Structure 1
Amino acid sequence: MARNIFKGLGIALVTPFTADGQVDYKSLKRLLEYQIDNGADFLCILATTGETPCLTQQEKDNITQLVKDVNHGRLPILKGCGGNNTAAIVEELKNSDWTGIDGILSVCPYYNKPSQEGLYQHFKAIAEASPLPVVLYNVPGRTGINLKPETTVRLANDCENIVAIKEASGSLEQVDEIIKNKPKRFDVISGDDALTFSMVASGAAGVISVIGNALPKEFSRMIRLEFRGEYEPARKIHHAFTELYSLLFVDGNPAGVKALLHEMGFIENQLRLPLVPTKVSTLQKMAEILKDLRI
């Protein structure tokens, strides 16, 4: 029976672009080495923060290969594979080369708003087709549909290779209900940096993090302190990031974290339309916080 290996700090990897809008593979390689060397426990590629809807298939393939080459087996890799056409996802799962990938992250179907039974059947079909463990991704703010706790638990019980859920509903009550009723082998992973401290304290296995792109050492330390039951020093780290959590998302994701990474000298502050860079005033506030944190 499959078990979840995606624990601790997962990085929701950005896709850097050059000033002329091309994928910046050189900066991506540098960023990966920085994250691996500074506390990341696993990598999550080609999902929301990676601006995946705006990438060509060739770019997705190139990014996947670069991540595998740079990582060289050091950390588990979770790769996005989801959408709102069940048959197309099943076809992709059956026909793609998953060598070097350790799991699939599959988002709730967006736009067509299925019922809970439709969501169950969608993910059941994905689980049956997937050659790798599946992590569900619930983010109703983006998809327009909430995967309810009872449906999550039903999937966890019925599908052996559904091993976890990235929970980004923003509801700690929903998280608690899943953790209370889930099978032991199934994990909840935070999909919201600002709620990670509370979710880990409630029993979550870690986070797929946006802020971890820029501050992996600090954020992974908070999680590891919690795992050891050292909540007071972990809480201090959490509180030090409180304003930064808000600034990272006030102008949309990944605009905030890309601005932060640009301020730190890692990447160009470039996104692909329809996304645009964060406001100058937001960037200035983040720069001040970095000075206060001595980063």
Structure 2
Amino acid sequence: MLSIDKDFLKGSIPPLVTPFKEGAVDYDAYAGLVEFQVKEGSHGILVNGTTSEPSSLTVDERNRIVDVAVEAAAGRVTVVVATGSQSLAETEALTRHAAAKSGVDALLIVTPYYARPPQRGLVEYYRVLNALHDKPWMIYHIPGRAAVDVKLETAKEIDRACPTFVGMKHASLDLGYVSDLLEEIDDDLRIFVGLEELSFPMMAVGACGLMNAVGNLRPRPLADLCEAVWAGDLHGARALHRQLFEINKAVFYDINPIPMKYMMKRLGIMPANEHRLPLMPATAELEKRLDAVLSRAGLSNVELA
């Protein structure tokens, strides 16, 4: 595992949504989302994560979003770029582009989805990609979408084969796996929480931060939760976790980021609620349900941007 500074690559790093305008990526609005995260106290941003609808974006669009994110962040927060896809060739192109930018601090590479590769295939896949660059990088472990798990022994093999490997975004309910990784690989392994409901529990057992979709809507409490854990204030962190409970649930009332985009538009965080097929905007019934959540959270009439 690559040795990195103890204060580098940690905290709340939300995966930003992709704003669209009449079918095209709204890059100006994207820059505004980056600015929103900086002002709201996030420790970083995750570019082109699952929440950004990456499978609906072209390689050129994803690369342009990286450029916009780096320029907008201007070195004020950590920039992590997700460069994975179902195709090795596409992942290589995305990885080369992001790794070549000095403003990109780290990469996140999802396990290749749809193919359901064998464990030895995962090791070789990441070894080949690691050889392309010298950036710190992490595995995006999301078996619910990718249909493949990274077994503990496989993670250890990847660590041995990949000189700049530093961690994982873990989007699974398997909390014991986190303890196993920290014990078997390194206590300084960067593990980010990928499921909202495990934000506090996973940080309590050693995760270094959050990469949660709800950070698009409520950045500050997520940053505060991380900082409370670091300060040893577990009661305060648990209170924040409970404060976020209903909104965390609401983000997944439909496929992410459908509820998120509606609520962001509703609160003025971004100018339009638009998706690319096969995703679609929230139904009228879902909108009413989400409005009720925002009302109970005291956010209905709050202008956040």
- TM-score after normalising by structure 2: 0.89
Mapping of 1:125-274 within 5 angstroms?
A: 125-267=128-270, 268-274=272-278
Q: Does 1:279 align with 2:283?
A: yes
Distance in 2 between the 1:88 and 1:61 partners?
Answer: 11
1:153-212: CA deviation from partner (whole Å, max 9, x where unpaired): 332244220001001122112222222222234221111122111100010000112011
Q: How big is the shift at 1:92?
A: 5.0
SS at structure 2 position matched to 1:223: helix
Paired residues of 2:194 and 2:211 also in contact (CA < 8 A): yes
**Alignment correspondent of 1:123:** 126
Distance in 1 between the 2:18 and 2:95 partners?
Answer: 23
1:127-171: CA deviation from partner (whole Å, max 9, x where unpaired): 222231111111011111111122123322442200010011221
- Relative distance call for 1:243 and 1:91 in structure 2 (3 A) is closer
SS at structure 2 position matched to 1:100: coil
**Alignment correspondent of 2:83:** 81
Q: How big is the shift at 1:277?
A: 1.6
- Relative distance call for 1:283 and 1:224 in structure 2 (3 A) is farther
RMSD: 1.9
Mapping of 1:34-73 within 5 angstroms?
A: 34-73=36-75
Distance in 2 between the 1:240 and 1:63 partners?
Answer: 32
**Alignment correspondent of 1:23:** 25
Paired residues of 1:2 and 1:133 also in contact (CA < 8 A): no
Paired residues of 2:16 and 2:33 also in contact (CA < 8 A): no
- Relative distance call for 1:118 and 1:248 in structure 2 (3 A) is same
**Alignment correspondent of 1:114:** 117
Paired residues of 2:17 and 2:53 also in contact (CA < 8 A): yes
Paired residues of 1:27 and 1:266 also in contact (CA < 8 A): no
Distance in 2 between the 1:291 and 1:175 partners?
Answer: 35
Distance in 2 between the 1:155 and 1:131 partners?
Answer: 15
**Alignment correspondent of 2:302:** none
SS at structure 2 position matched to 1:175: helix
Whichever residue aligns with residue 187 of structure 1, its letter is R
1:96-135: CA deviation from partner (whole Å, max 9, x where unpaired): 6333211111000111111111111111221222231111
Paired residues of 2:81 and 2:108 also in contact (CA < 8 A): yes
Paired residues of 2:225 and 2:240 also in contact (CA < 8 A): yes
Distance in 1 between the 2:131 and 2:60 partners?
Answer: 27
Paired residues of 1:150 and 1:178 also in contact (CA < 8 A): no
Q: How many residues of Structure 1 are paired with residues of Structure 2 in the alignment?
A: 294
Distance in 2 between the 1:48 and 1:92 partners?
Answer: 15
Q: 2:106 aligns with which of 103, 107, 116?
A: 103
Whichever residue aligns with residue 291 of structure 2, its letter is A
Distance in 1 between the 2:53 and 2:88 partners?
Answer: 21
Q: How big is the shift at 1:2?
A: 4.0
Q: How big is the shift at 1:289?
A: 2.7
- Relative distance call for 1:257 and 1:212 in structure 2 (3 A) is same
